Structure 1
Amino acid sequence: MMKSYIDARPALKRFIHWLLVPANEARPRRWVSWVLNPFVHERHVSARIRSRARLDVLPFNPFKMGANSLIEDFSVVNNGVGGVVIGKNCLLGIGSTVIGPVSIGDNVIIAQHVVLSGMNHEYKSVVTPIRDQSVTTAEIVIEADCWIGANVTITAGVTIGRHSVVAGGSVVVYDVPAYTVVGGNPARILKQYEPESGQWMSATAAATLLASVHE
């Protein structure tokens, strides 16, 4: 109800946003990080955030960290346009960037310099600077037990199925089925495990199966 009240009053909304974030910046004011966020966000007592990580998190969207999860130095987490939820026993590697909306399941390894961005800038007008155009959001979901290699980019709206691997340097623009290894730019299936048979399928067989499912 409070959010609806504020959203219906643009001047009040702009003022409150100014109280929370300096103009033309993404990082919240210090008082927000020190006073508001600790009481609003759900961070397990065993979750750790290295001292040189940057948390651009605000109280009006979720930010959650489960037990024994770690955000390494030089990483950036931003929930300004969508929540960021990190499960239990997760690692966000050195120099990685997470821009919500992003949901990360339990036991996920995210290596160094990975970019997960659930936000995009629109490009509808050729006379308006892109930075002044609207943004769109679509949630990235990384299900439990995944491994995301170094220097990977995962684009808005993509789901990585449980127990999958994304090879280093890949750019993922399509959903990845569970128990699948993908790699490349754009990422393609390299192999996939078939639980019913207990066998690994080749890339060709996995792609054929996936195509038949989507028909």
Structure 2
Amino acid sequence: MLFPLNDPRPRPWVNVLLNPFYHTLGRNVCIRSSVRMDVVPFNKLVIGEKTIIEDFSVINNGVGDVQIGCDSLIGLSNAIIGPVIIGDKVILAQHVVVSGLNHAYQDVRTAIKDQPIEKKMIVIGDGSWLGANVVVTAGVTIGKHCVVAAGSIVTRNIPDHSVAVGNPARVVKTYDSDRDAWVKVS
């Protein structure tokens, strides 16, 4: 009853009648009118106070919880597909994809569309910034105060206080607290 036949989006009445009782939106949250909220009541959606979700983005908790911290910015045309935890004061520039799900493909006798989905949690630490067109794959943790350069594909974990670039993204700088400076990684 929650979903029309062959449609992954919940019925409109789910957003109006059920979701407000199951999901938590902090004070002064701004979700632009063109944001597509594909959210269901049986998975968690938490958005912290003063967070902004810009136009044409998609938030989907259909296969896993989505938690976005306080004072974060989800830029234009982002796709956030759970399971995902985004920390406080995180900036996601435009066209960023953060997807905690993958499609299985191991059975060559079955179309990939008909195989089960696999999900792994993504965590983006407090104070991090992901540039335009970044893709974060399932199971990745990005540490606190990290910068991921525009166009990067993040396929493995990035430690706290790092700058990562490329496809696949690799760490090129880290913050050295003894020197109080960002240092290139050799």
Which TM class, normalised by the smaller chain length? Answer: over 0.9
Segments of 5+ residues of structure 1 without an aligned counterpart are: 1-18, 205-215
RMSD: 0.9
Residue among 86, 106, 125 paired with 1:124: 106
Paired residue type of 1:112: Q
- Structure with more helix by fraction: 1
Structure 2 counterpart of 1:102: 84
**Largest Rg, 1 or 2:** 1
- C-alpha distance in 2 between matches for 1:89 and 1:24: 36
* Alignment deviations for residues 51-104 of structure 1 (CA, whole Å, 9 cap, x no partner): 000000000000010000011111001101100000000111110101100000
Residue among 48, 53, 56 paired with 1:74: 56
- C-alpha distance in 2 between matches for 1:116 and 1:84: 11
Structure 2 counterpart of 1:93: 75
Q: Highest relative contact order (Cα 8 Å, sep 6+), 1 or 2?
A: 2
Q: How many residues align?
A: 186
- C-alpha distance in 2 between matches for 1:66 and 1:35: 22
Paired residue type of 1:119: L
Instruction: Give 3-state SS (helix, strand or coil) of 2:156's partner.
Output: coil
Scaled by the length of structure 1, the TM-score of the pair is 0.85
Q: Percent identity?
A: 51
- C-alpha distance in 2 between matches for 1:201 and 1:82: 37
Segments of 5+ residues of structure 2 without an aligned counterpart are: none
Instruction: Give 3-state SS (helix, strand or coil) of 1:74's partner.
Output: coil
Structure 1 counterpart of 2:13: 31
- C-alpha distance in 2 between matches for 1:42 and 1:63: 6
Instruction: Give 3-state SS (helix, strand or coil) of 1:20's partner.
Output: coil
Residue among 127, 136, 139 paired with 2:118: 136
- C-alpha distance in 1 between matches for 2:102 and 2:149: 23
- C-alpha distance in 2 between matches for 1:145 and 1:45: 20
